[in-house]
Structure 1
C-alpha cells in the first residue's frame, strides 16, 4: 500500500468536480494520462479501474486517491456511481511525499501539524460525513463557480478522511493490545451489517464467549458493541437515504430490521430526524457528470 503526505499550507487547487452515474452495464472507464490528482468515493456498484499496470476494484463506501502522472483506464465494464474531483497540489508541482507500509511515519502527526497522510485506497469509516461534504462541494460549484471555495472544500474533505482514519482511532484505542481481535470484530460486523446481527453470533464466529466479546469491545472502543452495530447501520441508512430514492421500508429490510416502524424509531433516536425528513434535508437530485 502506498501513502501520500500532503501539507495543508500548500495550495490545493480545484480543477473539476462531479458525480458520475454509469449510463448502462457496458460502460467502462476511459483510458487517459492522468496529469492531476483525482479523488473518488464510491456510492453504488463496483468500479474496475487501473493505474499503469496495477488494477483496483472499488466497491460502495470505498475511496481511491489517484496520483499523477499515470496511465488511468478501466479494465472491465462497471455499473456504478461515484463522486469525484480533480485537483492540483503545491502550485501544480503535484509532489506529495510518497510512503509505503515500511516507510510511512507514525500516525497521527502531533496536534497542530498541518501535515496529513492518506492511503491509496480503502473503506471510508464514516461515509455519510464524506458524502455530505461532497454534496456541498458540488452545490457550491454549481452555485458560485468559485475555484477558491472549491479548493477549500477539497482540503476539508481530504482532512476529514485523514481524521476519520487516524484521529478517531487514536481517541478510542485506549488499549493497544489485542489489535487483531478488535479488527476481526470490526470486519465481521461490516460483513454482516445487513443482517440482524447478534453478539453471540460474533462470539461464536471468533471463538469467544459473548460476555468476553462485550466487555472487550466496550473497553477497547468506549462503545457497547450493540450501540456500535446500530451506529454503523444508521450510517449506511443515512447514505442510502441521501443517495437514492429507495423506499424507507426497503432500506429497513436491507439493514436487518423486521419492519419499517422499528427502523424509523431507531433512526430518529440516532439522528433526531425521521428517515423522510433526513432525505428531504440531505438528498440531492442525482445528475450525470462525465
Structure 2
C-alpha cells in the first residue's frame, strides 16, 4: 500500500481549497501535472481519476491523495462532487510502501494512505467547510495552514488500523463495531436501543452495558451524537432548511431536534450554519 510520510513538527502550507460540483454527467477531470499535494474527499457520485499510470475509482465516503509531479487526468466521465485541498509539505514527504505501524502518541511523523474509506465522512467535510470559511473570512495564512494540518491528522486517525485482521478482534469488539455500523446507516430513522437489541438478538441491558464499557458513553447518547454529526454535515454541506434536516434525521417535531442539537453542539442549528457560511464552490 502506498502512503505519504508527513512530519508534524510544523504545519503544511495551504495552497487552495474548495468544493467541486460536476456541471454535468459528461464532465471529465482535466489533465495536468500537480505542483503540490491534492486531497480529494468524495461527497456524491463516483470520480474516475488517474494518477500517472494508476487508475482510481473514488466513491462517496472515500478519499484520494496524490503527490506533486503526478500526471493527473480523468479517464472517463464523472458525475460527482467532492471537497479538495491542495497543500505543500515542507519536509518534502516521500511516497512509501507498506508504511510502519503507528508510533506512540508523541510520534511527530504520520503516514497517510493514498486511498481509502473514511470512518466519519461528515466530520471531515465539516472541517473542510470550516477551513473554507476561514479562508474567506480571515485569510490568515498561519491559521489556515494549521487548520489544513488538523484535517490531515483527522484523516490519519480515521484510517489508522483500517486494515487490521478482523480475526484478531474479540467477539465483543466485533459486536460493538457492528452496532456502530448499524447506527451509522440508520441515523435517518428514529432508532431506539430496544430496536438495536432486537436486531442483534441480545438483551437490551447487556447491549447497553457492553457499549458503555467499550466506548465510554451510553448507547442512547451515542445514537444522539451520531444524529447530530449527520445534522452538522447537512447544515454545512446542503441548503436544506432546519425543518428539512429535522425530517431527514427522523424527527417528527422540529423543536425536539433543535433542542437536541443545542444540547450536544452548544449552538442552535441556525447558529451553527451561520458560523461557517462561506463555502468555496467551483464548477470548472
TM-score (normalizing by structure 1): 0.79
The aligned counterpart of 1:254 is: 248
Pair 1:23 & 2:23 matched: yes
What is the CA–CA distance in structure 1 between the aligned matches of 2:189 and 2:7, rounded to whole Å? 41
Displacement of 1:282 in angstroms is 2.1
The aligned counterpart of 1:64 is: 64
The aligned counterpart of 1:233 is: 227
User: Runs of 5+ in structure 2 lacking a partner?
Assistant: 162-168
Displacement of 1:217 in angstroms is 0.8
Displacement of 1:156 in angstroms is 2.5
Displacement of 1:200 in angstroms is 3.2
Q: 2:111 aligns with which of 117, 127, 134?
A: 117
Cα RMSD of the aligned pairs, angstroms, is: 3.1
Q: Is the 8 A contact 2:5 2:94 kept in 1?
A: no
The aligned counterpart of 1:41 is: 41
User: Runs of 5+ in structure 1 lacking a partner?
Assistant: 168-175
Displacement of 1:257 in angstroms is 1.2
Paired residues, what number? 274
Displacement of 1:240 in angstroms is 0.9
Structure with higher RCO (Cα < 8 A, 6+ apart): 2
What secondary structure sits across from 1:14 in the alignment?
Answer: strand
What secondary structure sits across from 2:282 in the alignment?
Answer: coil
Q: Is the 8 A contact 1:10 1:89 kept in 2?
A: no
The aligned counterpart of 2:86 is: 86
Displacement of 1:89 in angstroms is 2.9
What is the CA–CA distance in structure 2 between the aligned matches of 1:138 and 1:22, rounded to whole Å? 19
Q: Is the 8 A contact 1:63 1:124 kept in 2?
A: no
Q: Is the 8 A contact 1:28 1:75 kept in 2?
A: yes
The aligned counterpart of 1:210 is: 204
The aligned counterpart of 2:147 is: 153
Displacement of 1:21 in angstroms is 1.9
Q: Is the 8 A contact 1:243 1:284 kept in 2?
A: no
What is the CA–CA distance in structure 1 between the aligned matches of 2:262 and 2:143, rounded to whole Å? 33
Pair 1:288 & 2:275 matched: no
What is the CA–CA distance in structure 1 between the aligned matches of 2:135 and 2:29, rounded to whole Å? 24
What is the CA–CA distance in structure 1 between the aligned matches of 2:193 and 2:138, rounded to whole Å? 49
Pair 1:7 & 2:7 matched: yes
